[in-house]
Amino acid sequence: MKKIAVFASGNGSNFQVIAEQFPVEFVFSDHRDAFVLERANQLRVKSYAFELKEFENKADYEAALVELLQEHQIDLVCLAGYMKIVGSTLLSAYEGRIINIHPAYLPEFPGAHGIEDAWQAGVEQSGVTIHWVDSGVDTGKIIQQVRVPRLAEDTLESFEARIHEAEYRLYLEVLDSLGVDRK
Ligand code: GAR
């Protein structure tokens, strides 16, 4: 049985959808005040939070993450709104076992503002991508992606909401396809 951990920095709606369907060993947040930690409490999922600024450098911060992952014998790390670039310490220990969700149809609109950037560019469609994490920014091998149309009557908010709905469906599908067992 594959054990998963979820990393999230803020709201945690993707985490919640995952945790409702799959056993999540723990959720990690790089912000101690992130709303995802409240969701974890509600769902009775173990959570950890610490911040990069509490460490000497990123290598030490990521070494603490590697330790957590090893302690819990995690097979797959699911990034879901984890807004840091994965550095070499975490990558060298877990490359090939970290996936990320991105709210655009990569390689279109990489980076921290995939939804807004697609909206500003006036695209007729954007999408959602789940990919393996490598040392680039949103460059790893794509596992699965889905198109999401922008409708004539859309506002940024309604467009964003449709992207998020597509994210929730795609994350569950990809976890199924990677052989993670549901609850
Ligand atoms: C999601 O839309 C996710 O794709 C995005 O952050 C949001 C987190 O929402 N991630 C990135 O932009 C990574 N580059 P959530 O915290 O409610 O799941």
**How confident is the model over 111-122, as pLDDT tens digits?**
999 999 999 999
d(CA 166, CA 137): 21
Retrieve residue 126's tokens. Answer: 């954007």
The confidence score (pLDDT) of residue 139 equals 96
Cβ(114) – ligand 1 distance below 6 Å? yes
Whether the bond between 107 and the residue before it is cis, its omega within 30 degrees of 0, is yes
Contact 2, 75 (CB under 8 A): yes
Q: What is the pLDDT of residue 59?
A: 98
Atom of ligand 1 lying closest to residue 80 CA:
18
Give residue-wise pLDDT tens across range 24-64.
Answer: 999 999 999 999 999 999 999 999 999 999 999 999 999 99
What residues are labeled active site? 102
What is the pLDDT, as a whole number, of residue 114? 98
Q: What's the residue count for the chain?
A: 183
The alpha carbon of 112 and the centre of ligand 1 are apart by a number of angstroms equal to: 9
Structure tokens at 30: 């790089």
| Mean pLDDT, residues 14-20 taken together | 98
For the chain, what percent of residues have pLDDT higher than 90?
99
Distance (Å, whole) CA 57 – CA 44: 31
> Which of 13, 99, 165 has most ligand 1 atoms within 8 Å of CB, for mutation?
13
> DSSP of the chain, one letter per residue?
---EEEEESS--HHHHHHHHHS-EEEEEESSTT-HHHHHHHHHT--EEE--GGGSSSHHHHHHHHHHHHHHTT-SEEEESS--S---HHHHHHHTTSEEEEESS-TTSS-STTHHHHHHHHT-SEEEEEEEE--SSSS-SPEEEEEEEEPPTT--HHHHHHHHHHHHHHHHHHHHHHTTPPP-
Mean pLDDT value of segment 11-16: 98
Judge if pTM exceeds 0.95: yes
